[in-house]
């Protein structure tokens, strides 16, 4: 089972989402449904998917009523076919109706990320290449979206700008305008952060050679054709790890993996996943 997120982080996100949606009150539900009414609802998949975000859904309902009860809650990271019960919810009708959309918003989006990630991971199966996410995440949701990537079998690349050195093309251009070479930049970075992984972006074979000579731990091979990727991977050998990025999709990821790269970073995992089809239907109580 995938490692759980912080309970406090989930509760904070759910509270903010409910505040946004409910505002001063659910006028329809509070006008029509008696506060004594009770019901049972079933959350169900309408397509094959990897489930993620179960705790977000539970907290959404419990935030409206601590008396809500749950049955058959699936584990995050579990693949399910279409028409699978993800969880059963029973309790106060008002609470379930008011929290329904917030719960589904979290589960549908996080499950979409997990499902898409699983597709990429399966596409490179039998190769040694690993699928990475990126920083192309929804503002404020990075921790959650990267969690969903893990649910789908992907690997988190870096949480932010603080936990890995990554010298990109614009860094190199800014340095060049000051007369600073890549090798000089690497020496400075090593002196300041000796224990951090150091990655350098390269767009050409010459830049790959420079990054290797400078002592990069990882070389990011950006927007290269499969032929160029293969040549660069061969030239690097095992002297550094290699990562491919740029416009990666399900149609191309297998061919990229077969060049021998160690990692493929895929921004689409988080910025293009959208939502999967999950329904919440009321049953007879």
**CATH code where residue 82 lies:** 3.90.1170.20
Tell me: do 132 and 259 sit in the same domain.
Answer: yes
30 found inside a domain: yes
pLDDT for 285: 58
DSSP, collapsed to helix, strand or coil, labels residue 283 as: strand
Q: How far apart are CA 166 and CA 174, in angstroms?
A: 14
- Separation CA 193–CA 152 (nearest Å): 32
Rounded to whole angstroms, how far apart are CA atoms 112 and 252? 20
Distance CA 135, CA 121 (A): 19
Query: How many residues make up the chain in this entry?
Result: 285
pLDDT value at position 172?
Answer: 92
How do residues 23-53 score in pLDDT, each as one tens digit? Answer: 999 999 999 999 999 999 999 999 999 999 9
Containing domain of residue 206, as a range?
122-271
| Residue numbers in the chain where pLDDT is lower than 70 | 1-4, 285
Residue 234 is assigned to a structural domain of this protein: yes
Confidence at residue 3, expressed as pLDDT on a 0 to 100 scale: 59
- In terms of domains, do 147 and 93 share one? no
pLDDT at 73: 84
Task: Answer yes or no: is 1 within a domain.
Answer: no
Same domain assignment for residues 245 and 132: yes
Report the catalytic residues: 101, 136, 168, 201, 222
List CB contacts of 4: < 8 A, sequence separation 6 or more: 55, 76
Do 25 and 60 have their domain in common? yes
CB atoms within 10 A of CB 236: 23
Q: What is the pTM of this model?
A: 0.95
Q: Pinpoint the alpha helices (H) of the chain.
A: 7-22, 27-32, 54-64, 93-123, 142-151, 169-176, 182-192, 205-214, 226-236, 253-257, 268-271
| Beta carbons within 10 angstroms of residue 177's beta carbon | 8
Task: Report the number of distinct structural domains present in the chain.
Answer: 2
112 shares a domain with 126: no
One domain for residues 248 and 133: yes
Say yes or no: 101 and 46 in one domain: yes
> Looking at the structure, do residues 113 and 154 belong to the same domain, yes or no?
no
């Amino acid at each position: 089972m995938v490692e759980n997120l912080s309970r406090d982080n989930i509760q904070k996100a759910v509270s903010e989402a409910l505040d946004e949606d409910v505002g001063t009150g659910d006028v329809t539900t509070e006008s029509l449904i008696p506060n004594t009414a009770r019901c049972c609802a079933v959350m169900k998949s309408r397509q094959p998917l990897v489930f993620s975000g179960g705790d977000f859904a539970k907290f959404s309902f419990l935030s409206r009523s601590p008396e809500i009860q749950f049955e058959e809650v699936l584990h995050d990271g579990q693949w399910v076919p279409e028409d699978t019960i993800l969880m059963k919810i029973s309790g106060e009708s008002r609470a379930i109706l008011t929290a329904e959309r917030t719960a589904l918003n979290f589960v549908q989006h996080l499950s979409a990320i997990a499902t898409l990630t699983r597709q990429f991971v399966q596409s490179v199966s039998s190769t040694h290449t690993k699928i990475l996410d990126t920083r192309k995440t929804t503002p404020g949701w990075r921790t959650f979206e990267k969690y969903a990537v893990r649910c789908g079998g992907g690997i988190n690349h870096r949480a932010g700008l603080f936990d890995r050195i990554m010298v990109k093309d614009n860094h190199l251009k800014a340095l060049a305008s000051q007369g600073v070479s890549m090798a000089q930049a690497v020496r400075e970075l090593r002196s300041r952060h000796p224990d951090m992984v150091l990655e350098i972006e390269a767009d050409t074979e010459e830049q790959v050679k420079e990054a290797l000579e400078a002592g990069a731990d990882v070389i990011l091979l950006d927007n290269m054709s499969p032929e160029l990727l293969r040549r660069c991977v061969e030239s690097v050998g095992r002297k550094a790890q290699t990562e491919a990025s740029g416009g990666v999709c399900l149609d191309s990821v297998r061919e990229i993996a077969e060049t021998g790269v160690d990692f493929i970073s895929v921004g689409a995992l988080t910025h293009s996943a959208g939502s999967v089809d999950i329904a919440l239907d009321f049953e007879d109580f």
